[in-house]
Amino acid sequence: MKNILLFVFYFMFLYTQAQQNNFSEKCGTMHLLEMHQNNNLQLQVKMLESEKNIQHWIKNNKGRNKSVITIPIVVHVVYVNNNQNISDEQIQSQIDVLNADYRRLNTDKVNTRPVFDTIAADIEIEFCLAATDTNGNFTTGIIRKQSPGEFFGLFTPLDAVKSSNGGIGSDPWPTDQYLNIWVCPLIPGLLGYAQFPGDNPATDGVVITTNAFGTIGTVQPPSTKGRTATHEIGHWLGLRHIWGDGPCDSTDYVDDTPNADASSSGCDLNKNTCVNDSTFWGNFNPPDMVENFMDYSEDACMNAFTKGQKNRMWAAINTLRPTLLTTMNNKSCYTVGVHFHEFSSNEIQIFPIPADNNFTITLNEEFIQSLTVYNLLGEMVFSKNINSSSTVIDTQHWKNGIYTINVKSENKNFIQKIAVNKH
The CA-CA-CA angle for residues 275, 301, 67, to 5°, reads 90
Q: Where are the beta strands (DSSP E) in 12-63?
A: none
**Number of separate helices (H) and strands (E) present in the chain:** 7, 15
| Annotated catalytic residue 232 | yes
The rounded distance, in Å, linking the Cα atoms of 29 and 35 is: 10
Q: Are 101 and 238 in contact (CB under 8 A)?
A: no
Q: What is the distance between the alpha carbons of residues 318 and 38, in angstroms, rounded to a whole number?
A: 27
- CA atoms of 87 and 336, how far apart (whole Å): 10
The catalytically annotated residue of 25, 232, 291, 298 is 232
Question: Which residue stretches of 64-103 are H helix?
Answer: 88-102
Strand duo 412-420 + 401-408: pairing: antiparallel
Helix axes 227-236, 88-102, angle to 10 degrees: 60
Give the active site residues.
232
